[in-house]
Amino acid sequence: MEIYLFRGFSPEEIEKGKATLAARQIDLTELLFIPVSEAMMNERMEELLNRLEIDPAVKGEAAPGLKTVIMATGSQEKALQVMRAIKAVLADPAEPAFAMVTQTSLTWTLGYYMDHVHKEHDYMKTHNPANDPDMRKIN
């Protein structure tokens, strides 16, 4: 089971993304698209993902915030397909931040991870690596 956690998205945006994937012949039966609730933001990632695999039914209001998607998938290809589908249905496709679950992020709370990912996303949108003295040019 692959789990995609959405913060800051309307239910309509999530459904449009799923419809785009279905139109591209992507099997949705093993994909869970879950809007993040406020209560989930305080859960440790590993515990949250384990709980959602057992009981994916989520109750409560979706948490507001910057558009962020955390992807618990072992497939980079599938992650890219989901990213492209979601971006295709948004007015501003550069707005959402996406990240895959890592061993390190499993120890963090969902809220901390989402905030961390969005800070990195904002930095990458506003900074040119060529102007960063710490970056080395690769030939």
Mind listing the pLDDT tens digit for each residue in 9-40?
999 999 999 999 999 999 899 899 999 999 99
Looking only at the bridges linking them, the beta strands covering 68-72 and 2-7 are antiparallel
Hey, what are 65's tokens? 């915030």
pTM of the model: 0.86
What confidence category does residue 61 fall into, taking pLDDT thresholds of 50, 70 and 90? confident
Amino acid letter for position 112: Y
- What architecture is the 2-131 domain classified under in CATH? 2-Layer Sandwich (3.30)
Distance CA 43, CA 91 (A): 31
Strand partners, 109: 44
